[in-house]
Amino acid sequence: MSSIRAIRGMTDILPGDTPWWQALEAQIGSLLDSYGYHEIRMPVVEQTALFSRSIGEVTDIVEKEMYTFEDRNGDSLSLRPEGTAGCVRAAIQNGLLNTPQKLWYAGPMFRHERPQKGRQRQFHQVGVETFGIATPDIDAELILLSARLWQRLGFLDEVELQLNSIGSSESRAAYRDALVAYLGQHRDALDEDSQRRLETNPLRILDSKNPDTQALLDGAPSLADFLDEDSAAHFARLRELLDAAGLSYTINPRLVRGLDYYNRTVFEWVTTRLGAQGTICAGGRYDGLVAQLGGKDTPAVGFAMGLERLVLLLAETGSNLARPADADVYAIAVGDAAQVQAVKSVESLRDEMQNCRLLVHNGGGSFKSQMKKADKSGAAVALIWGEDEVAGQTVTLKPLRQSAGEQRQVPLAELAGALHAALAESN
């Protein structure tokens, strides 16, 4: 009988890698908390109409990439391809929008794309969304917050901020007409995908990866020339705030984002260290989406970052993010009586040192093999029980790192205090 394998594009994150994920998630959560953002958790399955109404019927995501199915009641449901629409739905449904909100979420998203490095069919994002603030200072805060995360992770110099304004729906409509008129004259020179988008979503042609199409766009009308006065003022103020904070950026007039709900500010953080999948974080304003999904008119802005790509970038750049050790203390016992004493003592220590990671060796083995496991765990200290320790009601405290002091025998009654001191020295 053949073995059952994971679905293509949906990968296992193994124990050797999860410490990096945990360290990354801890950094993100800590930073967002320091800025006053609060976590929200939404279902991974939503009504399909939520995404067709928000993302857009003629986007690649809705047309080709969603995992959609009918449940037993005949309702059309979809695995979420992104988090913003679900967050807006939750905020409306639960009455959160009576006051400004700063929210964040994390979890898996699903798109039926061609799997490749940094792009999976089940992928993980952290999303940050704000509601009820129309002024560009909140746009600036989100961008500066993301920059501070890259700084903490040690790769701010490896990423570039690209910035644009796509204006109001009215200004985009006027630009759309001008762009279609221009590209219509060169239809035969467009790649097949861009020819299809010319009829359905022409602004997405600006994001084409085809070099011939990009060369053709050099002569196209510029979106900046169609910006309405309010959007231009909003964008100018945003740039002024980023300049004041000393954050460098590039204006990319072809940056439009792939979802229909965006307006005004759009931005992406990109890197050259990950090949074709160079975008690690992207977002912008979506002031009309709340009303579009049945809520009251509410300004909103947010972004999402892909955790798979961030983990890849951490590995690629040799980030200063430390991989956590498996344990702080590793307990070793040689002999049956020693094992009994070790279990008893360690359980007592767990009561007194609740934030300490105490790992007891399981499965027996020689003293030498147990010490190898202790060293591999990354623990700062080993606690050793053998016949002599059992007889003398002591334990040998052996530092595994130079900073943790000297090896010594400690009476069991004094173990907690001695261990506190040894761990403090190791830090």
- pLDDT tens, 200-235? 777 777 777 788 888 887 888 888 888 889 999 999
Angle between helices 18-34 and 307-317 (to 10 degrees): 110
In the chain, the amino acid numbered 137 is D
Angle between helices 18-34 and 136-153 (to 10 degrees): 140
Q: How far apart are CA 259 and CA 266, in angstroms?
A: 11
Q: What is the pTM of this model?
A: 0.85
**Could you write out the DSSP letters of every residue in 330-396?**
EEEE-SHHHHHHHHHHHHHHHHH-TTS-EEE--S---HHHHHHHHHHTT-SEEEEE-HHHHHHTEEE
**Class at the top of the CATH hierarchy for domain 329-426:** alpha beta
CA distances from 262 to 55, 115, 163, 266 (A): 9, 26, 13, 7
Superfamily of domain 18-167+227-317: Bira Bifunctional Protein; Domain 2 (3.30.930.10)
Task: Give the three-state DSSP class for 56.
Answer: coil
The pLDDT of residue 405 is: 66
* Tens-place pLDDT, residues 254-307: 887 656 678 899 999 999 988 877 899 999 999 989 999 999 999 999 999 999
Domain boundaries, the chain: 18-167+227-317, 329-426
For residue 76, give the DSSP letter: E
Rounded (10°) CA dihedral 37, 40, 44, 45:
-120
The pLDDT of residue 32 is: 97
Q: Which residues of the chain have pLDDT under 70?
A: 56-61, 63, 257-260, 319-324, 402-405
The pLDDT of residue 91 is: 97
**Could you write out the DSSP letters of every residue in 145-210?**
HHHHHHHHHT-GGGEEEEEEE---HHHHHHHHHHHHHHHHTTGGGS-HHHHHHHHH-GGGGGG---
Task: Give the three-state DSSP class for 53.
Answer: helix
